[in-house]
């Protein structure tokens, strides 16, 4: 009797032998550890696992790929994935930029269809070509597993952008931008005003025109501004008016996932100082100043992402003459989100400014949007260098972001001595359709905790 029981148990356990899961046909980056670490003991479990893997593909954006079949054979359970590729792209458009958009979409041809990736590229094209709408329908191609994209485009005839923000020193700074797109070009008019509880701090206007033909472009325009300025060293304030025309030619090109623009400009600037009575200031600050020279600007942007996830690097170099003074000035900024998980990002950033000029009119304020926490300090510098780190969590996908940040920097003060400073804070960004809302609080590390700066802003485009 005992021998019969042992034989029955052997047959039973043999029939429920666990089969190892093997996934085949997958080329896209999907984490399969959770699936492949499981075992299968029946046809029902194999079917359930096939459904789970299909759902996982869809959650990653591969909504037309799926597990076509499974095969349970002794100690192995094979799941066969069919990836759906983009076999064809058709575009219907009432825009003159149709051919350019076709070229931009060629990068999708032959790729495995991913709903999120297509959404990102279409959002970028909408901004790049100032489109009113860009939609896509996904249909089967030749009754197979591959798909065809049918893209429908409608161009904008006019674009507005309104922004109201708070900034250190300048206070509340509303601005309005109006853009008119033409065939292979766009004209932009922008105005801004800033004010605090006492005075109007800044008035700015910009008119520019950008023409792009394939890989080449021409950019020209003029900016005019008038701002309230302070020279803390002499406890004096003044009004600075600036007129700055520019004309540049350059190229647009791509390297991998990065879009690069490189322009060289001829630049002239006229400065006029007024409304000051301090005798020492009159002796040390010229009533007028002129700059002329050549400027190189390079911008590198990661085109795969949208909203807060874009990597960006910019550099500008000016070389010229300012009232018989040789001037060499550099600006550099870096913003590089690094994904830790699908929602958590670590973002190193940096900003650098340096000029060989000794003129206060060519200086920058130390405490601005790059180094928050000091809302009432007008310290100016001819050289400052800032590094920062952010922890950004995507609370709601492409809608709500939470940031915790810290910055540290060094700068040359108005007495030509090097000083260091640091700050920390937190910020919340909300994206809703074409509107962006942010609010944050920053503390400087050299002051007590109850000294803080609250800043906020809202931007909407239509």
CATH number at residue 147: 3.10.20.310
Give the residue-averaged pLDDT of 145-165: 89
CATH number at residue 356: 2.40.160.50
Residues 321 and 439 in one domain: yes
Task: Decide if 399 contacts 430 (C-beta within 8 A).
Answer: yes
Kindly give, in sequence order, each residue whose CB lies less than 8 Å from that of residue 170, ignoring residues fewer than 6 positions away.
Answer: 194, 196, 201, 202, 227
Alpha helices in 17-114 (DSSP H): 33-36, 43-59, 98-105
Report whether pLDDT(390) > 70: yes
CATH number at residue 46: 3.10.20
Q: Which domain holds residue 170?
A: 159-461
Reported as a single tens digit per residue, the pLDDT across 195-214 is 988 889 999 999 999 998 77
Q: What separation in angstroms does the CA of 406 have from each of 309, 315, 371, 384, 387? A: 18, 23, 9, 17, 9
Q: Which one of 155, 173, 199 terminates a domain?
A: 155
The 10 Å Cβ neighbour count of residue 72 is: 17
Give the residue-averaged pLDDT of 247-267: 90
* Better-scored residue on pLDDT, 395 or 134: 395
Give the residue-averaged pLDDT of 268-282: 81
Reported as a single tens digit per residue, the pLDDT across 218-255 is 999 999 999 999 888 888 888 999 999 999 999 988 78
Residues 321 and 206 in one domain: yes
Residues 137 and 193 in one domain: no
Q: pLDDT > 70: what percent of the chain?
A: 92
Residues 348 and 436 in one domain: yes
Residues 357 and 375 in one domain: yes
Q: Which one of 82, 100, 127 terminates a domain?
A: 82
Residues 32 and 150 in one domain: no
Cα distance between residue 235 and residue 231, in whole Å: 6
pLDDT on residue 5? 40
Residues 101 and 208 in one domain: no
Report whether pLDDT(311) > 60: yes
Residues 414 and 294 in one domain: yes
Reduced DSSP (H G I as helix, E B as strand, rest coil) percent helix, strand, coil of the chain, to 5: 15, 60, 25
pLDDT on residue 107? 82
The 10 Å Cβ neighbour count of residue 195 is: 16
Cα distance between residue 154 and residue 122, in whole Å: 12
Give the residue-averaged pLDDT of 159-183: 90
Residues 137 and 71 in one domain: no
Q: Which one of 22, 47, 82 terminates a domain?
A: 82
Cα distance between residue 453 and residue 327, in whole Å: 34
413 CB-side CA count, 13 A: 12
Residues 63 and 181 in one domain: no
Give the residue-averaged pLDDT of 273-299: 85
Specify the number of domains making up the chain: 3
Residues 262 and 399 in one domain: yes
Residues 95 and 212 in one domain: no
Concatenate the DSSP letters of all residues of 242-274 into one string.
Answer: EEEEEEEEEEEEEETTEEEEEEEEEEEEEEEEE
């Amino acid at each position: 009797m005992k021998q019969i029981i042992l034989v029955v148990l052997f047959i039973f356990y043999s029939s429920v032998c666990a089969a190892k899961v093997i996934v085949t046909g997958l080329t896209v980056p999907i984490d399969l550890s959770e699936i492949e670490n499981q075992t299968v003991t029946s046809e029902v479990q194999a079917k359930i696992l096939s459904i789970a893997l299909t759902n996982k593909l869809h959650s990653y954006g591969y909504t037309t790929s799926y597990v076509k079949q499974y095969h349970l054979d002794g100690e192995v359970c094979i799941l066969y994935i069919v990836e759906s590729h983009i076999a064809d792209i058709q575009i219907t458009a009432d825009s003159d930029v149709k051919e350019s958009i076709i070229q931009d979409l060629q990068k999708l041809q032959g790729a495995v269809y991913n709903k999120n990736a297509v959404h990102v590229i279409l959002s970028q094209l909408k901004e790049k070509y100032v489109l009113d709408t860009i939609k896509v329908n996904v249909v089967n191609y030749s009754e197979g597993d591959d798909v065809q994209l049918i893209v429908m485009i409608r161009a904008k005839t006019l674009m507005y952008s309104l922004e109201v923000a708070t900034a250190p020193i300048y206070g509340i700074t509303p601005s309005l931008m109006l853009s008119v797109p033409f065939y292979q070009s766009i004209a932009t008019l922008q105005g801004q005003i800033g004010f605090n509880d006492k005075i109007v701090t800044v008035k700015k206007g910009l008119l520019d025109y950008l023409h792009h033909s394939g890989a080449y472009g021409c950019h020209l325009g003029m900016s005019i501004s008038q701002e309230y300025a302070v020279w803390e060293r002499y406890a004096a304030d003044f009004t600075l008016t600036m007129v700055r025309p520019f004309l540049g030619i350059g190229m647009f090109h791509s390297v991998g996932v990065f879009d690069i623009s490189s322009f060289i400009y001829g630049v002239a600037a006229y400065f006029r100082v007024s409304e000051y009575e301090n005798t020492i200031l009159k002796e040390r600050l010229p009533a007028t100043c002129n700059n002329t020279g050549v400027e190189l600007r390079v911008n590198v942007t990661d085109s795969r992402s949208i909203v807060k996830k874009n990597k960006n690097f910019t550099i500008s170099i000016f070389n010229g003459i300012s009232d018989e003074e040789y001037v060499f000035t550099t600006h550099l900024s870096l913003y590089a989100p690094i994904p830790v998980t699908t929602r958590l990002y670590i973002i190193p950033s940096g900003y650098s400014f340096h000029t060989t000029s000794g003129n206060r009119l060519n200086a920058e304020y130390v405490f601005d949007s790059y180094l928050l926490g000091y809302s009432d300090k007008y310290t100016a510098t001819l050289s400052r260098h800032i590094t920062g780190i952010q922890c950004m969590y995507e609370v709601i996908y492409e809608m709500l972001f939470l940031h915790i940040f810290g910055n540290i920097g060094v700068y040359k003060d108005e007495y030509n001595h090097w000083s260091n400073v640091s700050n920390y804070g937190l910020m919340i960004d909300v994206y809703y359709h074409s509107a962006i809302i942010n609010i944050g609080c920053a503390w400087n590390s050299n002051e007590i905790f109850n000294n803080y700066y609250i800043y906020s802003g809202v931007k909407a485009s239509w």
